[in-house]
Amino acid sequence: VTTLRVPNQVRVGGVLHAVVLYTLHRTLFVTITAMRPFRFAAGVRSTQTRAEFVEAIREVERLGYSSVLFSDHLVDQFAPISALSVAATVTSTLRIGTFVFNNDLRHPVVLAQELATLDRLSDGRLEIGMGAGWNVPEYEAAGIPYDPGITRIDRLAESMTIMKGLFADGPIDFEGRFYRVKGFEDLPRPIQRPHPPFFVGGGSPKLLRFAAQNADIVGIAPRVLPDGKADVRGCTLAGSERKIAIIKEAAGPRFDQLEINTYPSLSGKVTDQARPAAREVADRLRRRYGVELSE
């Protein structure tokens, strides 16, 4: 299990096993003298019926997680906006959010209206995870052009600027490279002011710098290579520390207000059979990322 010495709060996406919780908890308390409390987030997947979904969401709240997060992929899973709406309805304290919206799938004006509505209907419990998109097969299957990373990040930047403007008071006029918005004023406003917290994560220096300067929660994740595969070499302790250094430099004085997000790429496992479990993890890494691990 990789441990991260992070000078701020850590949020972890996904349902975690005790070994991951303990390792992160122990490492951070040893190395940090002043810090915020932990927040833990859970992901809910593989539910097929409303009853299963509601049971899972209520269990996440009962277990004391801070938030439940939904991914945004064109696969056999519940769509995030609908899932967020139901999750808000069947809980009272659990925060709801995404990990993360693919910016290329929705126009920012449409998404802003949906999200402001969700924040109001959840009594101000929404967290907005935004990403530039990365899954090449999904783009190809849907006939959506997969632009270079720098283009997708620039488009994400414009989208977030528009959404923040729509969440604020008064009309917004915006003209950029990708979007043009004129005079929108009558959309709903979220309860959380000036807007619900934005989460942006990534692995490339450009995306990390953008997140550090524009998001409230910054996630450290594998960098996506031009072929759409994740570069897991950056998931080591040294690689994660380099990413945090980029975030700190780019954020400047606002670094102390940021939350730092991380997550286990694969679930931890509590077992007395360490070697077979390690082989299982190595096999999964090889299949998913094309990475070979030695004994």
Percent of the chain with pLDDT over 90: 57
Domain range summary for the chain, segments of one domain joined by +: 10-289
Residue 107 has pLDDT above 90, yes or no: yes
Residue 160 has pLDDT above 90, yes or no: yes
pLDDT for the residue 227: 63
Q: Which of 10, 132, 8, 126 is nearest to 70 (CA)?
A: 126
- CATH homologous superfamily of 10-289 equals Luciferase-like domain (3.20.20.30)
pLDDT tens digits, residue range 247-268? Answer: 999 999 999 999 999 877 665 6
The count of other CB atoms within 10 Å of the CB of residue 39 is: 16
Q: What are phi and psi of 194, to 5 degrees?
A: -75, -15
Q: What is the DSSP string of 38-53?
A: PEEEEE-----SHHHH
pLDDT at 5: 35
Dump pLDDT digits (tens) for 217-254. 999 887 766 666 666 666 777 888 899 999 999 999 99
Q: What is the number of residues in the chain?
A: 295
Return the pLDDT at 239.
82
